[in-house]
């Protein structure tokens, strides 16, 4: 099977009309969009998705942010797509993310303490397969 990754356009990206910009970058890079769905995420699903973060102090605000609107869940495929999309995504903090990356080009700090960073991308092949099973159990 070709390598796959799980990408989310987070609620800030959806609200700001950036779904198309994110998809454009994925496709322009040459990765294939295999699955795509706009939906809301509930707290139980988020707790699975962010299992490594549930006990962190920022988790409650992460839940508030991620449930504040629709997200777009995407499976993208291609050689090295997991690492490749992490590079395209940029650093977690949008102010630190390099220009040219999604977070660097579209994100910034806002005066509400949340990190609004537009996208999620799996950080390893094992995380990608784990996350794909959560978001697209049939895939």
Q: Is 101 in the site for ligand UDP (CB under 6 A)?
A: no
How far is the C-alpha of 37 from the C-alpha of 16, rounded, in Å?
17
Among 117, 128, 131, 132, binds ligand UDP (CB under 6 A): 117
87 beta partners = none
Active site residue 120: yes
Q: Is 62 in the site for ligand UDP (CB under 6 A)?
A: yes
Minimum CB separation of residue 104 from Mg ion in Å reads 17
How far is the C-alpha of 127 from the C-alpha of 22, rounded, in Å?
21
Please count the CA atoms within 13 angstroms of the CA of 34 that sit on its side-chain side.
Answer: 17
Interface contacts to ligand UDP, rule CB under 6 A:
53, 58, 61-62, 92, 115, 117, 120, 123
């Amino acid at each position: 099977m070709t390598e796959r990754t799980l990408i989310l356009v987070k609620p800030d990206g959806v609200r700001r009309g950036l779904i198309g910009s994110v998809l454009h970058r994925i496709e322009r890079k040459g990765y294939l969009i295999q699955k795509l769905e706009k939906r809301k995420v509930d707290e139980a699903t988020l707790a699975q998705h962010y299992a490594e973060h549930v006990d962190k102090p920022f988790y409650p605000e992460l839940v508030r942010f991620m449930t504040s609107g629709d997200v777009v869940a995407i499976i993208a495929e291609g050689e090295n797509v997991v690492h490749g999309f992490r590079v395209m995504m940029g650093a977690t903090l949008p102010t630190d993310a390099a220009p040219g990356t999604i977070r660097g080009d579209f994100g910034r700090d806002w005066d509400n303490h949340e990190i609004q960073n537009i996208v999620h991308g799996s950080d390893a092949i094992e995380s990608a397969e784990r996350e794909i099973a959560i978001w697209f159990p049939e895939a």
